A and B are shown apart, each in its own frame.
Chain A
Amino acid sequence: MNPLDIPYYPVNDFGPAMKGMIIGGLGIFHVFVAQFAIGGGILLCYFQWLAQTGRSPIARQFVDGYFRLLVLISFVVGALTGVGMWLTTIQVSPRTIGIMVQEFHWLWAIEWTFFSLEVASGYCFYRYGKQLNDHTRFFLLTVYSVAAWFSLFWINGILSWQLTPDGWLESHNVWSGFFNSTFWPSLFFRTITSMATAALVACIVINLTSFDREQRTELINKAAHLFLPMILMLPLGIWFLVAMPADSRSWVLGGSIAMTLFLNLGIVCSILIGGYTLIGLVRQKLYINGATATLLCALAMMATAGAEFVREGVRKPYTIREHLYSNSLTESEVAALRAVGCVSSDPYPLRDPESYPTKQLRTGAKVFRIQCSVCHTIDGANGVTHLTSTWTPSQLRLNIAQLQRTKPFMPPFAGTAAEVEAIVQFIQWNLDGQPETWDQEFDPEVLKEIDGYLDEVGTKPGTHLAAHAASLHVMNGSSAQGAAIYE
């Protein structure tokens, strides 16, 4: 029986790897390849124009070779990792992707039409480009570039909606959600990173050609023009920061050390790339060898990794802001599950129930599976045992019951007091090395205390609590000491 009609899916275990690492790892790779495809189209349009206007006759030869690489990489790996993102998201958070598809399937279908156009125009050029005149070549490359960019346009809207759904929360209007406050800064930012990525790859490829040094320098200096828009990355980054929710912004500006570090990784790598390319390649028209170009490309991938981690992380405690928490529950479901429990309707048993000496531990394992395993492992990456190794049982009870106070980017606990106690016991059992015997803890006074914690904190997210507390301070003129309790 599932009276709340919450979809329960089977939950898989990725061992010591955090699920976010799986989706993030593939996402970073896919985004990098996709950026290469999008920027590559722009670069090739530029090079074709250089060739056909006589500004750089050797550029035509480079276009054919570079496009071959583009097809071999982006049409294969790029396309399949794009599908892979869908399948991986199903593995990690099926409810999130289900909602996204339900809401935006027509916009995804629009993206599909542009992807089809990208593939068709790309193959036309790939197969026949050498036999066609410049006008037709330029037309095909332009169509390819526009189609690739529009693939980015449509997916960017859907992804940015997760962080800033804006008017969609009230109206559930697709366009209100699509054209949200972080849409434009992220679209322009990604366009610029695409151009920079393609230019870096071009610098590598140029070094692998049979052109002489002088010709390579000429092509590299032309490719370097695509780095120029990088000077806009700072204002666009600031625009994105301003547009994101205040709590998300606070995490990347120090509130969450991991997110802050990844943001800084992205910034530093971008500065290094931008500095070298703008000063060295654009201004001083230096030559860059293959090794240096490869190193810069690796930095670009690290910058992409940092940015993607931040983009995923700043959504917390949600996967769809103010609609679905990262544990795939809505706010109203959290409130309902406080009454009936989160495991009572879960049809999927534990796979290894005999490993747990008590029923309470089995309950705790199920609670962990449903609510925690999307972001945590037990003793692997972001392991709960690492995070709680010094906590007393009382601290565990308070911090889990009031999760959204423990860390404001944690969702509220969605279960009963008994389930809090069950997961407390589960964590302690793991901290103790999973002994073969374990006592069950059913002290009514403890459960009553946990109930008190749950009632006190409510089911609102931590960001709401912080805002509420801040408004109380303003109203009451509380001292800094009083405010510190909530921070």
Chain B
Amino acid sequence: MNSPFPFGFPAASGWYLTLYVLTFCLHAVLMSYVFAGTFFTMIACCFKRLNDSTEDKARSLSALLRDWLPLFLSAAITAGVAPLLFIQILYRDSFYTANLLMFHRWMSILPVLIVGFYLLYVLKTKWFLHRSVPIRLAITFATLGCFAYTGWSWTENHLLSLQSEDVWVDQYESRAMVFVSAQIFPRLGMILAATFPTLSVLLGWQLMWNGTDKADADAHTKTLAIVSVAGLVVSGIFGGVYLGIIPEFARSALFRWIAMPYVILGLLGGVLQLGSWILQARKRELSVPLLLLAAAGVMLMWLGIGVAREAIRISHIDIASLYEQHQDASTKGGVIAFFVFAVINTCVIAYCIHLVRKGLRSNDSTLDAMDEASTASTPVD
């Protein structure tokens, strides 16, 4: 493969691979908020007495997270449907085989995710706030466990799907629903650690956009910077370990044209994030230009991870044998209708958000006007 991803492939295959990688990246960004956010909330439970007053919401990152986690999980699941669709076009047989081999173990991610989802709602309750630290810790740990289990299961499914038919046959014969591989832990560690710098960027934007007082928002700069830098460093370490243990043919794929430009972009993304957060931490304030830089860094990082992932996968399989299947899929109708509805529905979503913001601003203006009127009518001594 002598061209950068996705140009070395036939048009249909390149098209579906691109869609898969892009939708995977979107899902990963949203999933990052959920995983890293739950982890952050768990740590906050250890150190802080949690309150639910409006004042504390503005000041407390954990309160902000607890408020938004269910929505982000819903968004992550919704966004996850897209790569789930495209992976069935691209790698149908291997994906289905891995699903079948993992059997109940694989299907268990659904009730686990349902439990995790409802636990996120529990985190929002006053009941949770008034529990002792050990209980709050146990609940958040259980919540985090649900998402970690899901991530672990997906990683296992992915690695199993890369194996040869001989391995699949052995796995089937052994009735083992768990696929053991030395790659699981470092690979999972790399991706889960990468969720933390992503969380920092998302929280930074949330603080800038959700009406939080600038001083309160800036007070979190150092925390966000530490979370980001720590996540990048740990992800890098796990990435290094992972690189060391994958087979040579998979490792060399990362240094070929298919992936190398993206690996470089991914590393550049990490550098951009490091630079952005170090500067913001020094200034002790969040800055829109630097947050934009960090956001660009996050996108490049996940793009690099996404393409590297595919390059490693492709090094394991005979993708040329799937070109005909991809070409056949590309002849199926509906793509124009998809783009039309995608544009329309995106605009409607944006309009809904605009209406809500306008409505909330209008409420704020009305309240301000009432305050002013009240002040004006109050006699002054």
Interface residues of A (CB under 8 A from B): 7, 9-12, 72, 75-77, 79-81, 83-84, 86-88, 90-91, 94, 97-98, 101-110, 112-117, 119-121, 123-124, 127-128, 131-133, 136, 139-140, 143, 147, 173-175, 347-349, 351
In the bound complex, CA of A10 to CA of B88 (Å): 17
Which among B220-228, B295-303, B338-346 touches the partner chain?
A: B338-346
Given contacts A105-B85, A127-B71, contact A10 B110 (CB under 8 A): no
A-B contact pairs, 19 of them (CB 8 A): A10-B172, A11-B100, A80-B77, A102-B332, A103-B332, A105-B86, A105-B329, A109-B82, A110-B334, A110-B341, A114-B345, A117-B345, A117-B349, A124-B353, A124-B355, A132-B355, A349-B172, A349-B173, A351-B175
CB distance from A99 to the nearest CB of B (A): 10
Q: Is the CB of A351 within 8 A of B173?
A: yes
Contact B359 A131 (CB under 8 A): yes
B335 engages A106 (CB within 8 Å): yes
Cβ contact within 8 Å between B337 and A347: no
Whether B352 lies near A94 (C-beta < 8 A) is no
Closest residue to A11 on the B side, CB-wise?
A: B100
| Assembled-state Cα–Cα distance A175/B337 (Å) | 11
A83 to B86, CA, bound (A): 14
Instruction: Give, as a whole number of angstroms, the nearest-CB distance from A424 to chain B.
Output: 26
Question: Chain B contacts of A101 at CB under 8 A?
Answer: 85, 88-89, 92
In the complex, what residues of A have CB within 8 A of residue B79's CB? 116
Contact of B107 among A75, A87, A110 (CB under 8 A): A87
Question: Does the CB pair A112–B75 fall under 8 Å?
Answer: no
Known contacts A9-B96, A101-B89, A113-B345; A76/B103 CB under 8 A? no
Q: Which of B88, B100, B165, B345 contacts A116 (CB 8 A)?
A: B345
Is there an interface contact between A91 and B352, defined as CB atoms closer than 8 Å? no
Tell whether B128 is near chain A: CB-to-CB under 8 Å: no
Chain A residues lying within 8 Å of B185, measured Cβ to Cβ, are none
B103/A91 in contact, CB under 8 A: yes
- A423 and B75 CA atoms in complex are apart in Å by 49
Say how far B14's CB is from chain A's closest CB, in angstroms.
16
Q: Please report B residues at the A interface, Cβ cutoff 8 Å.
A: 71, 74-75, 77-82, 84-86, 88-89, 92-93, 96-97, 99-101, 103, 106-107, 110, 113-114, 117-118, 121, 165, 168-169, 172-173, 175, 325, 328-329, 332-335, 337-338, 341-342, 345-346, 348-349, 352-353, 355-356, 359-360, 362-363
Name the one of A110, A124, A147 contacting B356, with C-beta atoms under 8 angstroms.
Answer: A124
Per the bound structure, the CA–CA distance linking A359 and B362 in Å amounts to 79
Partner of A112, one of B81, B101, B329: B81
A90 x B100 contact (CB < 8 A): yes
Q: Separation in Å of the A415 CB from the closest CB of chain B?
A: 21
Nearest-neighbour CB distance to chain A for B114, whole angstroms, equals: 5
**In the complex, are the beta carbons of B78 and A115 less than 8 A apart?**
yes
Question: Chain B binding site: helix, strand, loop or mixed by DSSP?
Answer: helix
Neighbouring A residues of B81 by C-beta, 8 Å:
83, 112, 115
Asked if residues A107 and B356 are in contact (CB atoms below 8 Å), the reply is no
| B contact residues around A10 at 8 Å (CB) | 97, 100-101, 168, 172
Complex CA–CA separation, A343 to B218 (angstroms) = 67
Q: In the complex, A107 Cα to B345 Cα: how many Å?
A: 14
- Contact among B93, B337, B363 with A131 in the assembled complex (CB-CB below 8 Å): B363
Cα distance, A86 to B77, chains bound together (Å): 14
CB distance A79 to B103 under 8 Å?
Answer: no
CB-defined contacts of A143 to chain B, threshold 8 Å: 348, 352
Do the beta carbons of B96 and A98 come within 8 Å of each other? Answer: yes
Known: A114-B345, A117-B349, A143-B352. 12 other contacts (CB 8 A): A9-B93, A10-B97, A79-B78, A80-B77, A87-B110, A90-B96, A108-B85, A109-B82, A120-B352, A139-B355, A349-B169, A351-B175
In the docked arrangement, what's the CA distance between A447 and B121, Å?
64
In the complex formed, the residue of A with least CB distance to B349 is A120
Contact B173 A76 (CB under 8 A): no
A102 lies within 8 A of B345 (CB): no
B74 to chain A, nearest CB (A): 5
Known A102-B89, A113-B345; contact A80-B117, beta-carbon cutoff 8 A: yes
**Residue from A9, A75, A83, A109 having most chain B Cβ neighbours under 10 A:** A109
B338 contact from A90, A109, A347, Cβ within 8 A: A109
> Once bound together, how far apart are the Cα atoms of A389 and B172, in whole Å?
31
The distance in angstroms between the C-alpha atoms of A83 and B82, with both chains bound, is: 11
Nearest 4 A/B pairs, CB to CB: A106-B334, A174-B333, A94-B96, A132-B359
Q: Chain B residue with minimal CB distance to A99?
A: B92
Nearest chain B residue, comparing its CB with the CB of A132: B359
